[in-house]
Amino acid sequence: MSQISYKDAGVDIDAGNSFVENIKPLVKSTAIPGVMGGIGSFAGAFELPSGYKEPVMLAATDGVGTKLKLAIDSGIHNTVGIDLVAMCVNDLICNFATPSFFLDYYATGKLEVDVATNVVAGIAEGCRQAECALIGGETAEMPGMYAEDDYDLAGFAVGVAEKSEMDRVSLVKAGQKLIALPSSGLHSNGFSLARKVLFEKMGMQFDDDFNGKPLIESLLEPTKIYVKTFKALKNEIVAMAHITGGGIVENLPRVLPENVMAEVKQDAIKVLPIFELMSEHVARDEMFRAFNMGVGMILVVDEKNVDKVLATAEGSYLIGEIKEGERQVVMV
């Protein structure tokens, strides 16, 4: 009687071991003070940073959404890892947490070592940009659960904040200004709508020229990571809102107390060309609910600190102010 191996069932242990060897130098490249041990143990270890009076650990998790479909279909795998890190660490800094370490989960129908290595190379690059360490992860080869060429990603970031600095909402008051930090593109939200508009409605192709380069390059432009900006301007920032799914209108209220509103000047927003292209087929209100429209992060800043923030944060600009009123965003 012939015997069946794990590989016959669709899981290649040798490929998994080869993948681990490939990513060891990538993981090592993200090491920062606090990392304890290396890859290969059952859990990653990170020493709690010193210098905090009342340290609080914060965690954030996210994925990349259907942007992954474009990476898989185009064969460009080295940027979505940056997106994965960005979506997590950009949330952490909104609670004034400095990212410490990151872990990833990679699931696929068939482990293609080169593809997976490219994905992790992007994750390592994202960690370097965020100045946090990649200390572990999990790779799952699950035939029958995913198609052979498909994979999915999830990320987990942990940071540390001073307890007294976490409550930003109570510090937001009428008279403070709103400063936009530009996005690099769609980031990692709204891709189901973008794919429907661009490829189904408009009949565009990956290689079509858009703004001087192939459309797929604009769509896969990695999410911008704002950690270094946060560190440079922490003392000048009152609050931060990460503009993800739901856009400005749904994310900015998350940092507002009940007695104020955010007035945002639509004409001040520097809308990126990719959004202008899609707006030909999507109502403006829907565009602002589905996409970041060119604004990746909004800072609430006291008027006395506006000039310093604008001079320090590359590409930043004023888009509105905080006023008394009902808790909401008003686009004017």
Predicted TM-score (pTM) of this structure: 0.95
Q: What pLDDT, on the 0 to 100 scale, is given for residue 41? A: 79
Q: What single-letter DSSP state applies at residue 223?
A: P
Q: What is the pLDDT averaged over residues 235-245?
A: 97
CA atoms within 13 Å, Cβ hemisphere of 121: 12
pLDDT per residue over 118-153, tens digit each?
A: 999 999 999 999 999 999 999 999 998 998 889 999
Q: Structural domain boundaries of the chain? A: 13-165, 169-331
pLDDT per residue over 176-209, tens digit each?
A: 999 999 999 999 999 999 999 999 999 999 999 9
What phi and psi, each to the nearest 5 degrees, are found at residue 273? -55, -35
pLDDT per residue over 72-91, tens digit each?
A: 999 999 999 999 999 999 99
Q: What pLDDT, on the 0 to 100 scale, is given for residue 1? A: 64
Q: What pLDDT, on the 0 to 100 scale, is given for residue 14? A: 81
Residue 318 pLDDT > 80, yes or no? yes
Q: What is the pLDDT averaged over residues 57-69?
A: 96
Name the residue type at position 80.
Answer: V
Q: How many CB atoms lie within 10 A of CB 81?
A: 28
The closest alpha carbon to 181, from 319, 43, 33, belongs to 319
What phi and psi, each to the nearest 5 degrees, are found at residue 108? -150, 160
Residue 71 pLDDT > 90, yes or no? yes
Weakest-pLDDT range from 14-23, 179-188, 246-255: 14-23
Q: What is the pLDDT averaged over residues 44-62?
A: 94
CATH architecture classification, 169-331: Alpha-Beta Complex (3.90)
pLDDT per residue over 271-309, tens digit each?
A: 999 999 999 999 999 999 999 999 999 999 999 999 999
Please give the span between the terminal C-alpha atoms of the chain, in angstroms, as a whole number: 76
* DSSP per-residue letters across 262-314: EEE-GGGS---HHHHHHTTTS-HHHHHHHS-TTEEEEEEE-GGGHHHHHHHST
Classify each residue of 274-313 as buried b or exposed e, where b means 16 or more C-beta atoms within 10 Å of its C-beta.
bbebbbeebeeeebbbbbbbbbbbbbbbeeebbeebeeeb
CATH architecture classification, 13-165: 2-Layer Sandwich (3.30)
